[in-house]
Structure 1
């Protein structure tokens, strides 16, 4: 069948009419020349603040971070950011970013596997680097995330990725760094006879799950000791829990569940444990401190867990954890679209007791320490990756946050995204509608 040239021309015109700005920006090329940012206030991420600072980086690594007066400008492409602020790139832990696009469309959801015990499931191979949501979180300074599977009792392993890559292999910062265990909920009697029948069934299910967990961890420990005849993928994937090369993230909120989960892990010889969620972390702070258990706290922008709690308890929990001497990080655990608000939950924590730089550490260096990447990321220091952001205002304040530059491993990142495109589109539309009609213009409706 012969296709008329007119139709081909129309198709080409239609393709070129698609707005480029609405698409996911292509990953930035590798850093080709040394860059030096000068004149800004540097927030190192470890509590230090340097006024009138400079930050230089070459081949993706930071070569200088300190007062501008001590920087050697020769050979560097100098970017003047006077009056602005330089921060480490923010890190979002415990997120399904890139594993889920539209919750109402099943084909875009790839964050869980069928079954209850899936230690061999790897979240990293399902990561979609072309997600429309990723550029929207980068625009607020979130440059890394921990890809976390959900569902079941053991969901699988998480990996840390940077948010500017062509594929999941290029995105990896640390692969399969931890396993996620959703601790079975404890059950409380209701006093209702009908409800207690249901409660009894649920209690039987919980006991069954606990027995399965006991067996799995015992089998894994025996397997790690080399007492096996054949390859077992599930047990092989758990060996890192016993030699400390892999963390066990226990998702639990209720205080007794936190204690039970941590004691279970210690009984089975798990070396590194992290509690995720941890709404009751303050109530069991002495236990967490005594056992050196870090926390990823997920409840800053939520309601209090109990009616008798202070209404601002979730806001001041980060300060109370810091006061108790517990290493903690913050995560935005609501819809993945809200991850762009990660800096603002740190800002809320700063308004309720935390020092501003301590709040910054809770979404940068503290997170890096918990994830085991602190030697590479989390602060703006010489030798670390040049993964940082520049904001014309306070990064943790939603009123003044305005990221003007972002770099991942020294690569200058495109900060455009679909939300910015739509904002500009409709801003221009309504500006145009508000313009007064030219003198002498006549409405067609009046004819």
Structure 2
């Protein structure tokens, strides 16, 4: 009896913390679902009031006006979302989500490899589906992410994942979609008293890095032309997709000259698809980006201007300037606390909507545009018949932190558990003080 009582006490003590664990992934959709009455934001700029969205086996079968839906509703699980908004699941590019848990604890950070040139490094196999942060990001409508390595000059390969899975194999939507190149910064004299020899030494180091990078890409191009049956070289084979367009080269650069230099370098060596990440000086070279068909992943629009002579709101209105120029772009959440803070992706888009973009254009910048740039728009990014039923329902404007309130969410038609560590703590301390 004494042992039984002790065992019961220990069970009760450990039961409560278990409630805060990462929820199990949702099972495959078993019955057709029909959402009716809400306002549908397709993701391509179209808005449909009093809409109906039907999906079965993870695929959308109808998305449009409720008056145009002619199927027998008795065959569906009908969900009334009148007065609410229906959006595509948001897509988060260029993130360390699932690679970093607690930034101050090195053992929980697995986002980089040693060395400068690591094209064969795959972020996907390090992706941790049991991260406590992932459920908090899903709660704000982010349902897909491009998991991206950091460090070195050629960091490795990113992959697109959906955020409700048992393991990285189940999570993968598009494995190894591209390689990430941190373009070496231009060498500038840091201060008037700096010794010229130091400046020359830094420039020499930079030129050596670029020569090594060029040699690696040239070898990869030549390797690709070798006959079948060759002995596989993982470093070179991982780069082959750059030359046939199956992979994208993501060049991380902010300054104008660095962007131009990086794009021209890649094009000269035969890289088919180039996207610039960061691009805070993109406003200076709109014609160059458009003429070279270079897409942009904008980072840090919640930031101060880079130069004292810039407009005070330049980072905020940069998305609008790209939109007006016809440059393909999307938004990310790179910056301080980027992993935990990435749940605020919707509000980054909301800021852009307050500085020149319409709300639907801002929504496209975090849904259909990243899907197109990353090559998954056939299935994700907008709510259209035939595409994946990956969507969120909010009782308010998803892009406004004052009204954002996701009430339902589905990934590939699966209604996953939306609880997380933060919602658990909220309920816990509300109960302590008798709050509802």
Any residues of structure 2 matched to 1:407-446 within 5 Å, and which? 407-431=410-434
Kindly provide the CA deviation profile for residues 324-363 of structure 1, in whole angstroms up to 9, marking residues without a partner as x.
1001000011221111110001011010000110000000
Give 3-state SS (helix, strand or coil) of 2:194's partner.
Answer: helix
Q: 1:7: Cα distance to partner?
A: 3.6
Q: Does 1:403 align with 2:403?
A: no
Task: Determine the structure 1 residue equivalent to 2:13.
Answer: 14
**57, 60, 79: which one pairs with 1:59?**
57
Any residues of structure 2 matched to 1:11-410 within 5 Å, and which? 11-20=10-19, 22-71=20-69, 72=71, 73-190=73-190, 192-226=192-226, 230-334=231-335, 335=337, 336-410=339-413
Q: 1:187: Cα distance to partner?
A: 1.4
Q: 1:379: Cα distance to partner?
A: 0.2
Q: 1:120: Cα distance to partner?
A: 0.2
Let me know the Cα RMSD of the aligned residues: 1.5
Q: 1:413: Cα distance to partner?
A: 1.5
1:190/1:196 contact within 8 Å kept: no
Summarize the Cα distance change of 1:406–1:303 in structure 2 as closer, same or farther, 3 Å threshold. same
Give 3-state SS (helix, strand or coil) of 2:409's partner.
Answer: strand
Summarize the Cα distance change of 1:195–1:418 in structure 2 as closer, same or farther, 3 Å threshold. farther
Gaps of 5+ in 1: 433-447
Give 3-state SS (helix, strand or coil) of 1:18's partner.
Answer: helix
Task: Determine the structure 2 residue equivalent to 1:441.
Answer: none
Give 3-state SS (helix, strand or coil) of 1:250's partner.
Answer: strand
Q: 1:213: Cα distance to partner?
A: 0.7
Q: 1:139: Cα distance to partner?
A: 0.5
1:135/1:417 contact within 8 Å kept: yes
Summarize the Cα distance change of 1:16–1:429 in structure 2 as closer, same or farther, 3 Å threshold. closer
Q: 1:375: Cα distance to partner?
A: 0.6
Q: 1:195: Cα distance to partner?
A: 4.6
Give 3-state SS (helix, strand or coil) of 2:25's partner.
Answer: coil
Q: 1:4: Cα distance to partner?
A: 4.2
**Number of equivalences:** 429
C-alpha distance in structure 2 between counterparts of 1:362 and 1:288, whole Å: 17
Kindly provide the CA deviation profile for residues 213-236 of structure 1, in whole angstroms up to 9, marking residues without a partner as x.
111111111111117964211001
C-alpha distance in structure 2 between counterparts of 1:288 and 1:14, whole Å: 59
Gaps of 5+ in 2: none
Larger Rg: 1
1:124/1:147 contact within 8 Å kept: yes
Q: 1:175: Cα distance to partner?
A: 0.3
TM-score (norm: length of structure 2): 0.96
Q: 1:201: Cα distance to partner?
A: 2.3
C-alpha distance in structure 2 between counterparts of 1:8 and 1:390, whole Å: 43
Q: 1:6: Cα distance to partner?
A: 4.3
Q: 1:5: Cα distance to partner?
A: 4.3
Q: 1:207: Cα distance to partner?
A: 1.1
TM-score (norm: length of structure 1): 0.93
